[in-house]
Amino acid sequence: MDILSQLVQLVINGLLSGAVLAMPAIGFTLMFAVLGFPNFGISGHLAVGAFAGWVLNAVYGWSIWLVIPCGFVAAGLVGVATDALVFRRMRTAAPITLAIISVAVTLFLENALRFGFGNTLRTYTVPLTRDWQVGGFRIGTQQVETAAWSLCVMAVLFCVLRYTQLGRALRATADNRALAGVKGIDTQGIARLVVFIGMGLAGASGILLGIDTSIDPLIGFRIMLAVFAAAVVGGLGSVPGAVLGAFVIGIAEEVSQIVLPAVYKSAVGFVLILLFLTFRPSGLLGERR
């Protein structure tokens, strides 16, 4: 395979993985916009969703496509629970304190999963499919399906945010929480909803990630850097930015394999974070700061 078609193949792979990465990146950026701190709990919740899906799929035999919404709900509910138990009691604390606490939340969730399921790698039961061959390029049907799932979820979310009164209220709360309260918006309720959606997106993406490979309690931890990178590259707090950032990171990670060993894939995200914070801290589509 010549270098050009190799590049095209890598870009295709990058687009497909970027589509899945976009979900937790949206969750991270949305929670940052509304709650005002980087919620590192996202990696623990991603793993919770992945394992909730695994139990339903591998233990109870539910179809994988049915299980994805369940992973969303499970992670979303755990998110709302941690929010009620910990974060809501600390709304006046400094954002950075909340960020540190969210690291502890991830530590707790990952170890709760480790306690219940151990460190073994587990896989979902999915129907085997053959990859497509299109003009000499190999396209994994599995990856296309997960990417399509992710795009559907994002389309729904986009429409809700853009065209409904609830979506407007959510964006208004992100813009100016005090003013939103004066206008009659239940900002506490919006915050709870955002945690549900944000952690739910992470949970569903945990299943999509696991379909492709396998899952273990650290599944979220491993793609954490890519999630942050997508959010920062797109502009922290911007939802469309997170989507764009996810595609940028997905493609950059794949293309980097031409020159870098595969183990350094996640370093690409880190380098991009540093570059963007140095030269364009508001990201590609960010407006704040």
Binding residues for another protein, rule: CB under 8 A, are 32, 37-38, 40, 86, 89-90, 93-97, 99-101, 103-105, 107-108, 111-112, 114-115, 118-119, 165, 168-169, 171-172, 174-176, 178-186, 221, 224-225, 228-229, 232, 236, 261, 263-264, 266-267, 269-270, 273-274, 277-278, 281, 287, 289
Minimum distance between the CB of residue 63 and another protein, rounded to whole angstroms? 30
Alpha-carbon torsion angle 168, 173, 179, 183, nearest 10: 40
Nearer to another protein, 128 or 263 (CB): 263
CA–CA gap between residue 14 and residue 57 (Å, rounded): 27
Pick the closer one to another protein by CB: 204 or 273.
Answer: 273
Q: Report, in Å, the least distance between residue 219 CB and another protein.
A: 15
Closest to another protein by CB, 61 or 261: 261
Question: Please, are residues 205 and 72 in contact by the beta-carbon 8 Å criterion?
Answer: no
Identify which of 180, 182, 150 has the alpha carbon closest to the alpha carbon of residue 165.
180
Show the tokens assigned to 71: 């992973």
13 vs 29, beta carbon nearer another protein: 29
Name the residue nearer to another protein (CB basis): 15 or 288. 288
Strands 132-134, 137-139: parallel, antiparallel or unpaired by DSSP? antiparallel
Q: Compute the least distance from the CB of residue 285 to another protein, in Å.
A: 11
Half-sphere exposure of 208 (CA within 13 A, CB side): 30
- The CA-based angle 256-260-150, given to 5 degrees, is 40
Q: How far is the CB of 169 from another protein (least distance, A)?
A: 7
What is the Cα–Cα distance from 51 to 56, expressed in whole angstroms? 9
Nearest residue (CB) to another protein, 133 versus 165: 165
Minimum distance between the CB of residue 102 and another protein, rounded to whole angstroms? 10
> Nearest-CA neighbor of 51 among 127, 128, 112, 129?
112
Smallest distance from another protein to CB 109, Å: 9
How many whole angstroms separate alpha carbon 29 and alpha carbon 59?
33
Query: CB 82 → another protein: shortest distance, Å?
Result: 9
By beta-carbon proximity to another protein, the closer residue of 97 and 125 is 97
Partners of 138 in the beta sheet?
133
Tell me 129's DSSP state.
Answer: -
Q: In this structure, what is the dihedral angle of CA atoms 84, 75, 40, 260, given to the nearest 10 degrees? A: 180
